[in-house]
Structure 1
Amino acid sequence: MKITYTSLLFFILLSAFQCQHQEDIKPRSENNAIVTGKWQLEEYYMSIGGPGSWTKADPAQPSIIEFKANGDYISGKEDCSGQYSVANGQDIIITVSCSTGYVKQSELIGKIQPTGELTIVPTSPTCIEGCSYKYKRIK
C-alpha cells in the first residue's frame, strides 16, 4: 500500500511539473515573430588592437539579412545561410554555414534593443578585440 501511495504521489508531482513546463514553452512561430523579416546593417563596431568605434554602414552597398518564420536565416552574403531560434523570448541564436571564406561555420547571438535595433555579436568564433553589428528592420 505504501508503494502505491508513493507511486501515485510521484506521478502527480511529475504531471504538475510537466504541465508547468509546457505552459512556459511558446510555439516556435510565436517566438520567431519578434525577429521575422528583413534587417539592414546600420553600423558596426570593430576594435583592432585598441579602443574600438562604431562606423556607419555604407548605404550605397546595403548589407541585408532575413529571418524567415520557419527558422531559416539568410545572410547578406550570397554564400551563407543558416537557422535561428529565439531563446527566453529575447535572445536570438543564429547558426550560419558559408560555402566560401575563412570561417565556414559560425554562431551568433542577437538581441532586439528597446530602441528596436537588432544587435548581433559573434560567439563562435569570437572577435578577439571586439565586434558587434546593429541592424534596423526594413520589412
Structure 2
Amino acid sequence: MRTKLLLLFFCALAAGACKKENVNSAVLTGKWKLVATYSSNGAQGNWTAVADKKDYDYIQFNADSTLTGNDGFAGFDRYRLKDSVTIAITQAGANRHEYKYELKAGTLTLSPSYPTFCIEGCASRYEKLKN
C-alpha cells in the first residue's frame, strides 16, 4: 500500500512539473525603449545605461503578433511567445531569432539564445513607454 501511495505521489508531482505556465502576451504588448545593455568579458558583467537621445532604440510588440523596431530589430516583423521565458522573432517569415526574456515591474530584459548567443553573457533592458 505504501509503495502505491509513493508511486501516486511521484506521478502527481511529475504531472505538475510538466504543466506549462500561462504566458500573458497582453503585458508584453506596447512600445519598449532601450535603457541599458549588459555585457561581460568572462568576468562579472555590468549593466551600462544607454545615453538618452531623441531617436531612441525601441521595439514594439503589437497584439496581432506583429512587431516593429529599429537598431537590432529593424526588418523583423513578427513574434511568438514560445513559453514563459522564450520569444521567437522572425524576419519576413524566414529568419528566426530566439531570445530569453523576463518581464518584471515594467522592465523587459532580452538575451539572445538562438541562433546567436553570447558565451560570456549579454542582454538588453527596455522600459515600457506609456501610451
TM-score, normalised relative to structure 2: 0.66
Match of 1:81 among 76, 79, 95: 76
Cα RMSD (Å) of the superposition?
2.9
* Code of the aligned partner of 2:80: S
List alignment gaps of at least 5 residues for structure 2. Answer: 1-19
Listed as ranges, the gaps of 5+ residues in structure 1 are 1-23, 99-103
Deviations 1:86-119 (A, max 9, x none): 355x435132438xxxxx6522122201x22111
The residue that corresponds to 1:68 in the other structure is 62
Amino acid in the other structure paired with 1:110? Y
Partner of 2:125: 134
Q: In the aligned structure 1, how far is the partner of 2:103 from the partner of 2:112? A: 15
Q: 1:127 to 1:45 in 2, by over 3 A?
A: same
What SS does the aligned partner of 1:33 have? Answer: helix
Separation (CA, whole Å) in 2 of partners of 1:73 and 1:31: 16
Q: Between Structure 1 and Structure 2, whose CA radius of gyration is higher?
A: 1
The equivalent of 1:116 in structure 2 is 106
What one-letter code is carried by the residue in structure 1 that aligns with 2:48? T
CA contact (8 A) 1:109 1:123 kept: yes
Structure 1's 91 and 57: CA in aligned 2 closer, same or farther, altered over 3 A? Answer: same
Q: Number of paired residues?
A: 107
Q: Which of 17, 42, 51 is the equivalent residue of 1:58?
A: 51
Q: What secondary structure sits across from 1:69 in the alignment?
A: coil
* Equivalent residue for 1:44, pick from 37, 54, 59: 37
C-alpha contact (below 8 Å) 2:37/2:48 kept by paired residues: yes
Q: Following the alignment from structure 1 to structure 2, what is the Cα–Cα distance between the partners of residues 71 and 91?
A: 17
- Residues 49-103 of structure 1, C-alpha deviations (whole Å, 9 max, x = no match): 4332110012115111100101112222373213222355x435132438xxxxx
With normalisation by structure 1, the TM-score equals 0.63
Partners of 2:119 and 2:68 in 1: how far apart? Answer: 25
Percent identity (aligned)? 27
Looking at structure 2, the residues matched to 134 and 95 of structure 1 have their Cα atoms a distance apart, in angstroms, of 17
